[in-house]
Structure formats: structure tokens, C-alpha cells
Amino acid sequence: MAFKMLNKNTAPHIATLIMLAGLAALSMNVFLPSLPGMTAYFQTDYRLMQLSVALYLGVNAVLQLFIGPIADRYGRRPVLLWGIALFLVATLGCLFAPTAGLFLVFRMSQAVIVTGMVLSRAIVRDVHDQDSAASMIGYVTMGMALVPMISPAIGGVLDAAFGWKANFWGLFLLGCVMLWLTWADLGETGRPRDISLFRQFGEYPVLLTSRRFWAYALAAAAASGAFFAYLGGAPFVGSEIYKLPPETLGFYFSAPAIGYFAGNFMSGKFSRRWGINRMILWGSVVNAVGVGISLLIHLSGAGSVLVFFGFMTAVGFGNGMVIPNATSGSLSVVPHLAGTASGLGGAIMIGGGAALSALAGSLLTLETGAVPLLLIMFASAVAAILAIFYVYHRERQLVR
């Protein structure tokens, strides 16, 4: 079975795609329980180290604007191999950075691993139609959800046992494994286009002027915005407001991933039967209701660590239903630009997430508690509902 899987002349095994996307997810959040320890190591302010989330997401978003067109022009395989190799260099830089400033530079450079997340989705769309792609993306991200589900807990344990650098050594070793696996198993699934890269970027207006693309992209961005705000604010809520140690914070921090796993299972099981729009709508509603209930409880003064992190499972569940289906919708608007659409949609999603992550981190104080974070998350969740309603409105217009 292993030898059948390792064939660089065929489309990759689904396990390879899961692990490619999983490494990108792991790099995003495995070290979050270590932020207090990293702050002490570099003798700096907690808010500065917290930028390692927002800056990473910001660079992540910008890179996605380039990864898609480059992969549509030159193919998926070479772009993935170069992306993983550069990630390994950046990870070594994080490990040996002498100052917080240099660490943040290399941390931003680590964002190149988003290549795996962007192109794993594009590869699925290369070989499946819209509804089948939604199901396959659901299964891929369901498997990928195992990574963020356990990575903060693992990161907290590694930090407690060996210090914060253990998380980055783990990323480096896993990156080496993925470089080999991608070289051995991932055959080219795209059709490299015989046009200049300048012309490839010149086709962005085809997507930018599509209302359906924008509606699907904004639905994914708004739904995931609640989660990215959580990434920026939850470490402070857990460590500073509720005084959780790193290993315990890592355990609680995984709450959205449990819901995300279940939501992606729903996408994989029912997207072909119910259609992507219905899945996006119900996922957006679950997201908003979960955050809304938590917000009301905290406003009443009855908030607690269990209430805060417990209702985050609803955020994960809603995202698990929204993101695979909205992604499939945006990639299907112009199929021959699937890589470009994946990159642009991802940039919109991650760029908005970076802004919300930074905003959440800047507004939280011991006096405010978790309320500002929950308000940001609720507003973002409601915006996702509005976006999918526009998709329904637009499709009714096109039918007439």
C-alpha cells in the first residue's frame, strides 16, 4: 500500500493532501501556549509576541495572492516543493533568532507553508466537480482538523517539558518529512499554462468582477473571522484572565477544533445531497448562535473558562460546514483559474483574519474580560450569514 501511494507520476494520495494542509495548520497554532514563555525568553512585552499570530496571518494572506497564479502557471508540484524548503529555512531562523524582532521576521517567513493549504484545495478541484470537491475538501479538512485539535495541547506539553523551542524543532522535523513525501507522492494535477506570469496575474479581474466569487469568498472569510479573532485573543483570555498554565491552556484551546472536525464530517457526508449553499447557511447560523449565547452569558456576569471555551466548539462546527463549501463554490466560478481562486479566496479569508486577530489582541485587558473578543466574533459570524443570503439573492436574479 505504501509503495502504491508513493508515485510521483500520479495524483497524490488523499493522506498526502491532508498532511500538507495539516502542516500549515500546525505552524499556525502549535506554539500559542508558549507565548508567555517566549515573552520571558526575549525579555519583551506580551503584546509584541502576540504579533507572531497577526503578522503571520498577514503575510500568509499576501503570499496567497501570488501562490495561486504561480501554481496555475508553473504547476502544483514545483511550487509545493519550493514552499516547503523555504519553510524549513524560516523555521531554523525562528529557533536561532537572538532578538524578538528577528524572531518575528522569521516567523512571518514561515507563512510560506500556506502553499500546502492553498494547493491541497486546488488539487482537489483539479480532479473533482463542484459538489464532489466540496465533499472531498470536507474530508480533507476533517482530517486536517485533527492537527489543530491536538496541536495546542501537544505544544503546551512540549513547552512544559522542554521549553518553547521544542515546538519549532517539531515543525522543522515534520517539514523535512513533508518535503520528502511531497517529492515522492505528489504528481502534477494542474495543467501548466503556456502564458507569461504577468498575463496570469492579469486574469485576476475575471475573479474580482464576479459577484458570486466575492459572495462565497466573503462567506468563508466572515465565518473564519470569528475563529481568527479567537486565535488572537484566546491566549490572553486563558493565560491572563483565567490564569491557566500552558498545558491546560493548550487543552482548552483545542475546543473549536473538536467542532471543526464534526462540521467537516457533515460537509463530507451531506454537501452533495444538500448542496453547498444550504450547508454554508446552516453553518453560519450555528457559528453565530454559539458565539451569541456565550456573549450573553458573559455580559450577565456568569462567564467562566468552561463557558468561554465550551461554546467555541460551535464556532468550529460552523466553520467546518462553511469553509469547505464556500471554498468549493469560489473555486468553481472559473475552473481553469482554480489555483488563482484558491489563493485569492484564501488571501481574503486570512487577511481579514489577521486584522481581526490583531484587533482582538489589542482590545483585551484584565478589566474588559472576554467581552470585546466575543463582540468581534459575533459581528463576524453575522456577516457570514449576510454573505450567503447574497448568494441566494444573486442566484435568483440569474434564474430570472
DSSP 8-40: TTSPPPHHHHHHHHHHHHHHHHTTGGGHHHHHH
Mean pLDDT of 350-377: 82
Grid coordinates standing for 329?
Answer: 463554490
At residue 273, what is the residue type? R
pLDDT band at 16 (very low <50, low <70, confident <90, very high): confident
Are 170 and 47 within 8 A, CB to CB?
no
> Does residue 3 register a pLDDT over 50?
no
What count of Cα atoms within 13 Å lies in the side-chain half-sphere of residue 281?
A: 11
Helix (H, G, I), strand (E, B) or coil at 169: helix
Are 175 and 88 within 8 A, CB to CB?
yes
Mean pLDDT of 239-243: 85
Give the pLDDT score at 234: 85
The winner for highest mean pLDDT among 21-35, 63-77, 167-181, 317-331 is 167-181
Task: End-to-end CA distance of the chain: give it in Å, rounded.
Answer: 52
> Does residue 70 register a pLDDT over 50?
yes
Helix (H, G, I), strand (E, B) or coil at 44: coil
Out of 64-68, 138-142, 305-309, 329-333, pick the least confident. 138-142
289's CB contacts (< 8 A; 6+ apart) are: 314
288's CB contacts (< 8 A; 6+ apart) are: 318, 378, 381, 382, 384, 385
Q: What does the radius of gyration of the chain's CA atoms come to, in whole angstroms? A: 20
Give the pLDDT score at 146: 64
Longest dimension (CA), the chain: 64
Give the pLDDT score at 9: 66
> Does residue 317 register a pLDDT over 70?
yes
Give the pLDDT score at 346: 75
pLDDT band at 386 (very low <50, low <70, confident <90, very high): very high
203's CB contacts (< 8 A; 6+ apart) are: 69, 337, 340
Mean pLDDT of 179-185: 90
Give the pLDDT score at 116: 87
Q: Where are the alpha helices (DSSP H) in 275-370?
A: 276-299, 305-310, 312-331, 338-363
Site of grid cell 473558562: 305
Cα–Cα distance, 246 to 243 (Å, whole number): 9
Give the pLDDT score at 135: 64
Cα–Cα distance, 212 to 214 (Å, whole number): 5
> Does residue 400 register a pLDDT over 60?
no
In the chain, pLDDT over 70 holds for what percent of residues?
A: 86
Residue range 71-98, pLDDT digits in tens: 877 888 889 999 999 999 999 999 999 9
pLDDT band at 192 (very low <50, low <70, confident <90, very high): low
At residue 337, what is the residue type? L
Cα–Cα distance, 246 to 156 (Å, whole number): 5
Mean pLDDT of 21-46: 84
Cα–Cα distance, 54 to 104 (Å, whole number): 11
Cα separation values, 89 from 93, 94, 109, 176, 322, Å? 6, 9, 9, 11, 34
Grid coordinates standing for 25?
Answer: 495548520
- Domains of the chain are 12-185+200-395 (1.20.1250.20)
> Does residue 1 register a pLDDT over 50?
no
Give the pLDDT score at 270: 79
What average pLDDT does the structure give for the chain? Answer: 82
pLDDT band at 57 (very low <50, low <70, confident <90, very high): confident
Give the pLDDT score at 104: 92
